Amino acid sequence: MTLAGIKRSYDRHWYAWAMAAPVVVVLGVLVLYPLGRGAYLSLTDATSLNVGRTIGMNHIPDTYSWVGLRNYTRILSGADHEFWPHFVWTIVWTAGCVTLAYTIALGLAVLLNRPMRFRTLYRVLLVLPWAVPTFVTMFSWRLMLADNGVVDTLLGYLHLPAPGWLSVPIWQQVSAIGVNTWASVPFLMVSLLGGMQAIPKELYEAAEVDGATAWQRFRHVTLPGLRPVSSTIILLGVIWTFNQFNVIFLLFGTNGADSVQILVTYAYQLFYGQQPQDFADSAAYGVIILSMLVVFTSIYRRWLARNEQQVAV
Amino acid sequence: MSTGQDLRQRRSTPTAATPPADRPRPVRPRGERGRGASLLLHTTLSLAGLVALFPVAWIAYISLGPGTDDFLHPGRILGRASLSNYGYVLFHTDFFTWFANSVIVGLGTMVFGVLIAASAGYAVSRMRFPGHRQLMWTFLLTQMFPVSVLLVPLYTIMAKLDLLNSYQGLILIYCSTVVPFCAFMMKGYFDTIPVEIDEAGRVDGLSPFGVFWRLIIPLARPGLAVAGFYSFLTAWGEVAYSSIFMLSSDKYTLAVGIQTFVSEYSQQWNLMAAMAVLVAIPAALVFYLVQKHLVTGLTAGGTKG
């Protein structure tokens, strides 16, 4: 671009840039710079022992060194015996949570999207898991799922054994997916409900005139009408679930419960849950997680574009 | 057709033709249900509502029990329910300080976050400036960042800027997490507002900023409400960053303060439950204040590219 071109572009767009600038500055300082720094750390052997720090008056300089891609090759080749098991569980977790939550949310939205008595009451109840802060509800679930807690008591009334929700690996995974689904349904439901209300009523009337059954109306009017909303919330759902730190952290803590740690919480564990803190590996995990999400998003968007659908990005 | 109906019809319209017994049964219009369908609908929704409500109600119930392990013996609470946990939390801890801190951080995130998200969303929605695509892509990208990559570098930056243990620091960090989603949503909302309004404003002599501030912002109130609500609740309930960046008890937010009840030495679940209820009430109130706008605000963001 020539100098004059830049000037013209500036004259035309300076206010647009001015309006976007605050966001760019905030994200640049607090997200992009730390990302670059984290990516750099992942190429070193930094731990809490060799990173520069200040103790009292003494400043200890950095002593870690550049190791190139060694962290990545060790992690991805399976030599740390941690990455692949956590990776598989993360995929199961993400697919399970998003599928379950989306299906339930769609069902509830269809049920709610009609005139009936108590509609407001139902809606208020159903969005509760979203309205109450996560750390409060997760704390409640922890008490409920504890050994001899209320869930075990209820199972006892039905003469079912108490499986140890928070201690036996497979049941830890079941309760993690269950609780996260419970927590994420309201957002999806409200979005889908909004999407349904944006579908023109004439389409349903036309379908009725043509003698379409309720199922056909759902299949051929509601579902296609929801596609833009669905593609967006599924994408966000996958990203958020893949990175869902709070639910697992608050339900199980970072130490112990190894089989239920997804990649994000495992990376946090490398960072906080041990001495010395492994900065380099933690950062490498972070970079790997980010790359996987970027690849997934690109494929997903290309797939949507091929199907001539839109996603709000 | 029943006889009673036949009679009534004959009486009211004596000259009418014979009742149309051979006409096909009319298709039931949308929104009308038989008794069975209605029962099924209400049963399903009540059950789902119960599942959604139960954990929240449970913690409220547990909070009434004065003993630390009453949550294992819920039957015991009935006989000796009291508000003593609430009394302790309110008057023997730093609850009000933590509460004020949470409100400051929550409102700060809300105001600052929504303002910059709205202006960026407006720029992307209305102006085809070079870089607007990359900006949206960056917004999406920041949603993919795992907390763990950012923590160490963020801590270093905050220390350098002297923002550790300060409201401004936490507000800035929260903004970086809420702004991308809010900007997305606001862009979608602005897309639904006709461009003719902007043009009319420009013709009447408003600057682009004037158009944004005087015309578009008032029109986008539902969208702003949703974005504000989302920001406030995110800040109100965030745990990981606040635990690391707020260092002294007079700066703790509620999410950090509540953890002080459970340590290696004592596990006061009952106090934690009482405090959890006190934390949840304002959040739920804010939620229901904006829930009227929630559906419209979110959809606009979701449906329009």
DSSP A266-282: HHHHHHHSSSS--HHHH
Q: Chain A contact for B186, CB < 8 A?
A: no
Question: Pick the residue with more confidence: B149 or B219?
Answer: B219
Least confident of A114-118, B207-211, B282-286, B290-294: B290-294
Residues of chain B with Cβ-Cβ distance to A190 below 8 Å are 294-295, 298
Q: Which of B252, B186, B254, B179 is nearest to B223 (CA)?
A: B186
Least confident of A54-68, A202-216, B78-92: A54-68
Rg (CA), chain B: 28
pLDDT-based confidence at residue B1 (cuts at 50, 70, 90)? very low
Q: Which two tokens mark A292?
A: 């996987």
Q: What is the largest CA-CA distance in chain B?
A: 94
* Residue A55: φ, ψ to 5°: -115, 115
Taking 3-state DSSP, the helix, strand and coil percentages for chain B, each rounded to the nearest 5, stand at 75, 0, 25
The percentage of residues in chain B with a pLDDT greater than 70, rounded to a whole number, is 83
- Predicted confidence at residue B104, as pLDDT, reads 94
pLDDT-based confidence at residue B116 (cuts at 50, 70, 90)? very high
Query: B143 to chain A nearest CA, in Å?
Result: 7
* Among chain B residues, CA nearest to A109: B45
Strand partners, B22: none
CA torsion angle for A161, A167, A171, A173 (degrees, to 10)? Answer: 170
pLDDT-based confidence at residue B299 (cuts at 50, 70, 90)? low
pLDDT-based confidence at residue B15 (cuts at 50, 70, 90)? very low
Q: Is the pLDDT of residue B303 over 70?
A: no
Q: Is B135 close to A20, i.e. CB distance below 8 A?
A: yes
Q: Is A128 close to B208, i.e. CB distance below 8 A?
A: no
pLDDT-based confidence at residue A69 (cuts at 50, 70, 90)? confident
- Predicted confidence at residue B108, as pLDDT, reads 95
Residues 6+ apart with CB under 8 A from A295: none
DSSP A58: E
Which of A32, A279, A313 faces B152 most closely, judged by CB atoms? Answer: A279
Cβ(A244)–Cβ(A262) below 8 Å: yes
pTM of the model: 0.82
Q: Is the pLDDT of residue A99 over 90?
A: yes
Instruction: Return the beta strands (E) in chain A as ranges.
Output: 53-55, 58-60
CA-to-CA separations, B7 to B1, B12, B15, B20, B241, in angstroms, rounded: 11, 9, 13, 14, 76
Q: Is the pLDDT of residue B38 over 70?
A: yes
Q: Which of B135, B142, B302 is nearest to A293 (CA)?
A: B142
Taking 3-state DSSP, the helix, strand and coil percentages for chain A, each rounded to the nearest 5, stand at 70, 5, 25
- CATH, domain B93-303, list 3.40.50.300, 1.10.3720.10, 1.10.10.10, 1.10.287.3510: 1.10.3720.10
Cβ(B46)–Cβ(A119) below 8 Å: no
Q: Is the pLDDT of residue A244 over 60?
A: yes
Question: Pick the residue with more confidence: B101 or A303?
Answer: B101
pLDDT-based confidence at residue B302 (cuts at 50, 70, 90)? very low
Q: Is the pLDDT of residue A308 over 80?
A: no
Range B265-275 average pLDDT: 83
- Predicted confidence at residue A57, as pLDDT, reads 67
Cβ(A130)–Cβ(A187) below 8 Å: yes
Distance, CA of A266 to CA of A245 (rounded, Å): 10
Among all chains, which residue has been given the structure tokens 């990005």?
Answer: A313
Q: Is the pLDDT of residue A62 over 90?
A: no
Q: Is the ipTM of this complex over 0.90?
A: no
CB-based burial of residue A63 (10 Å sphere; 0-12 exposed, 13-18 middle, 19+ buried)? Answer: exposed
- Predicted confidence at residue B146, as pLDDT, reads 76
- Predicted confidence at residue B51, as pLDDT, reads 93
- Predicted confidence at residue A101, as pLDDT, reads 96
Q: Which of B277, B229, B56 is nearest to A182 (CA)?
A: B56
| A108-155 residue pLDDT tens | 999 988 888 888 889 888 988 988 888 889 989 988 888 888 888 888
- Predicted confidence at residue B98, as pLDDT, reads 92
Q: Chain A contact for B273, CB < 8 A?
A: yes
Q: Which of A278, A295, A276 is nearest to A41 (CA)?
A: A278
* Residue B267: φ, ψ to 5°: -125, 90
Q: Which two tokens mark A207?
A: 């379908």
Q: Is the pLDDT of residue A255 over 90?
A: no
Range A22-34 average pLDDT: 85
| A166-200 residue pLDDT tens | 888 889 999 999 999 999 999 899 888 888 887 88
- Predicted confidence at residue B16, as pLDDT, reads 42
Least confident of A255-259, B55-59, B162-166: A255-259
Among all chains, which residue has been given the structure tokens 């405090």?
Answer: B275
Query: B16 to chain A nearest CA, in Å?
Result: 28
* Among chain B residues, CA nearest to A313: B136
Residues of chain B with Cβ-Cβ distance to A24 below 8 Å are 120, 135
Cβ(B152)–Cβ(A271) below 8 Å: yes
Distance, CA of A70 to CA of B82 (rounded, Å): 59
Q: Chain A contact for B40, CB < 8 A?
A: no
Q: Is B299 close to A197, i.e. CB distance below 8 A?
A: yes
* Residue B33: φ, ψ to 5°: -135, 155
* Among chain A residues, CA nearest to B236: A133
Residues of chain A with Cβ-Cβ distance to B257 below 8 Å are none
Q: Which two tokens mark A208?
A: 């009725």
Range B8-34 average pLDDT: 50
* Residue B162: φ, ψ to 5°: 65, 35
Domain boundaries, chain A: 78-306
Q: Which two tokens mark A122?
A: 């139902």
Distance, CA of A182 to CA of B266 (rounded, Å): 30
Show which of residues 75-104 on chain B sit within 8 Å of chain A, judged by CB atoms. none
Range A61-81 average pLDDT: 83
pLDDT-based confidence at residue B100 (cuts at 50, 70, 90)? very high
- Predicted confidence at residue A313, as pLDDT, reads 45
Least confident of A294-303, B91-100, B135-144: B135-144
Domain boundaries, chain B: 93-303
Q: How many Cβ contacts (< 8 angstroms) between chains A and B?
A: 311
Buried b (16+ CB within 10 A) or exposed e, A266-304: bbbbbbbbeeebbbbbbbbbbbbbbebbeebbeebbeeb
Chain-centroid distance, C-alpha A87: 15
DSSP A180: H
DSSP A83: H
Q: Is the pLDDT of residue B4 over 70?
A: no
Q: Is B48 close to A246, i.e. CB distance below 8 A?
A: no
Distance, CA of B33 to CA of B233 (rounded, Å): 38
pLDDT-based confidence at residue B149 (cuts at 50, 70, 90)? low
In whole numbers, what is the pLDDT of chain B averaged over residues? 80
How many other CB atoms sit within 10 Å of the CB of residue B251? 21
Distance, CA of B185 to CA of B143 (rounded, Å): 14
- Predicted confidence at residue A312, as pLDDT, reads 47
Q: Is the pLDDT of residue A254 over 70?
A: no
Query: A239 to chain B nearest CA, in Å?
Result: 6
- CATH, domain A78-306, list 1.10.3720.10, 3.30.360.10, 3.90.650.10, 3.90.870.10: 1.10.3720.10
In whole numbers, what is the pLDDT of chain A averaged over residues? 85
Dihedral sign for Cα atoms in the order B166, B169, B173, B176? positive
Q: Which two tokens mark A8?
A: 């013209």
Q: Is B129 close to A30, i.e. CB distance below 8 A?
A: no
Q: Which of A240, A242, A221, A220 is nearest to A232 (CA)?
A: A240
